[in-house]
Amino acid sequence: MLTVEKIGGTSMTKFKDVLQNIVHFPNEKEFRYGRVFVVSAYGGVTNILLEDKKTKEPGIYSRFVLQQNYEASISELLEKLKKLNESYVSEGLNLKEANEFIIERINQTKIYLKSMSKVISSGYVNENDIFLAARELLASIGEANSAYNMVNILNNNKIRAELVDLTGFHDPCNLTIDERIKKCFSDVDYKNNIVVATGYTRGTEGIMREFDRGYSEITFSKIAVLLKADEAIIHKEFHLSSADPNVVGLENTVVVGNTNYDVADQLADVGMEALHPKASKPLERANINLRIKNTFEPLHPGTLITKDYVGKESKIEMITGSEKVVVVEIYDSSMVGQVGFDLKLMKIFEKHDISYIMKTTNANSISVVIWEDLISEVLVDELNNIFEAVTIDKVAIVCMIGSNIAQPGVLAKVANILAGNEINVHCVSQSLRQVNMQFVIDREMYDKAVKCLNSGLCCNNK
């Protein structure tokens, strides 16, 4: 059996658990080869290299763009990585070799960035192209570091391991992402080794440009499809559960045992990514099952995501959503009966690179839910210049998701739970496919809504 497995950044940082719970699963008697691990950078490293994924606090990349002493920031990162290396000596890391690897990589990066700065200052090139190249270069450092260290540790633990460095750092070949993966795996003996690949893949199209911070999952997916994996596995720091344990409490969650790729897409659409949507599609089309496992509970089978799964019982599997959205309402008295009226709105959204989460309409209005950080003064001015009235409200969206929720009374039950807890519904949406019921509510009611819905719809299935 060949598995392609992705290990998240927080898990990689706790490498002792990775060694015990994933590589040995969870003891040496069950150890096997024929496994390809695609690894993320250690927790927080990519945030330092680029920007904080949640808070947007600027990192080295932003300092390079603004030419604000980025070299000192890179040197600080190097010291942090060397200190991090020290923490893995007890697991078998050769500190001298690991430090030499990352020092060489960092020093060469400084040289590349300095050359880029000179090219930008010449004024003969499009600086945005150089900035994108710098972002790609910086992103590759974290995965190269963690992947090298993992192979070093495994070999020193007498486990045959091979590094597949997809960063193309020392490879001048101009290859697409797919071409590089195919080339790098062409002579790899993955059946008799543990293979560790970098989550970052260098390609002419730019994996960061195409997929931004979801790039490691794209690499993972492409490798799984190329090697025709028997199963793809993602090791996360948590289970895929009925609701966010940070909101409802871990003891009040139910682990989702089975679901399908359609449900995974619904989760990704509201930011709760089981897998990047552009990474899930190739797996789904190749009919490769995906398993989500908790690194710290290795004996738990986790969640199995397949193409055609439909739950035997009709029930809500997950409650999720977001407080970081706004509802944009377009009102126009001339809208009624006008064919293609909403095309005007969609063209504006396309122009501003905006994908909506939810859309509802009636005779004279269209309500669209989008991420709050996509709202800009330019967008608002353009909408106001075209439509009769535009209203934008900060709200929350809460979603009831499941592979089989098409039963009479579910929508009414959800509405009754919300009403019984004095939570007003502003908009509601449910498509004919019936895998996702979406409710727009007051932002301050989000946590309360998730708790009461999880309790009333999911936990009673324990």
The pLDDT of residue 219: 96
Secondary structure of the chain as H, E, C letters: CCEEEEECHHHHHCHHHHHHHHHCCCCHHHCCCCEEEEECCCCCHHHHHCECCCCCCECHHHHHHHCCCHHHHHHHHHHHHHHHHHCCHHHCCCHHHHHHHHHHHHHHHHHHHHHHHHHHHHCCCCHHHHHHHHHHHHHHHHHHHHHHHHHHHHHHCCCCEEEECCCCCCCCCCCCHHHHHHHHCCCCCCCCCEEEEECCCCCCCCHHHHHHHHHHHHHHHHHHHHCCCCEEEEEECCCCECCCHHHHCHHHCCECCEEEHHHHHHHHHCCCCCCCHHHHHHHHHCCCCEEEEECCCCCCCCEEEECCCCCCCCECCEEEEEEEEEEEEEECCCCCCCCCHHHHHHHHHHHCCCCCCEEEECCCEEEEEEEHHHCCHHHHHHHHHHCCEEEEEEEEEEEEECCECCCCCHHHHHHHHHHHCCCCEEEEEECCCCCEEEEEEEHHHHHHHHHHHHHHHHHHHC
Its pTM stands at 0.89
38 and 4 Cβ atoms separated by less than 8 Å: yes
| Sheet order of strands, 303-306 included | 161-164, 194-198, 35-39, 3-7, 231-236, 290-294, 303-306, 258-260
In this prediction, residue 146 carries a pLDDT of: 97
pLDDT, position 461? 54
List per-residue pLDDT tens for the chain, 462 residues long.
Answer: 899 999 999 999 999 999 999 998 655 556 789 999 999 999 999 999 999 888 889 999 999 999 888 999 999 999 999 999 999 999 999 999 999 999 999 999 999 999 999 998 887 778 888 999 999 999 999 999 999 999 999 999 999 999 999 999 988 788 999 999 999 999 999 889 999 999 999 999 999 888 888 899 999 999 999 999 999 999 988 899 999 988 999 889 999 999 999 998 888 888 776 677 788 899 999 999 999 999 999 989 999 999 999 888 878 889 999 999 999 999 999 898 888 888 999 999 999 999 999 999 999 999 999 999 999 999 999 999 999 999 999 999 999 999 888 777 788 889 999 999 999 999 999 888 888 999 999 999 999 999 999 998 876 654
Tokens 């502003």 sit on residue? 426
pLDDT number for residue 61: 95
**Residue 15 pLDDT:** 95
Predicted pLDDT at 28 = 55
Task: Output the CA angle 158-2-42, nearest 5 degrees.
Answer: 60
Give every strand in the sheet of 436-442, ordered side by side: 358-361, 365-371, 318-331, 389-401, 436-442, 425-430
Taking the C-alpha atoms of residue 410 and residue 408, their distance in angstroms, rounded to an integer, is 6
Q: Where do the domains of the chain lie, and which CATH numbers do they carry?
A: 3-237 (3.40.1160.10), 318-461 (3.30.2130.10)
Rounded to whole angstroms, the Cα distance separating 6 from 420 reads 42
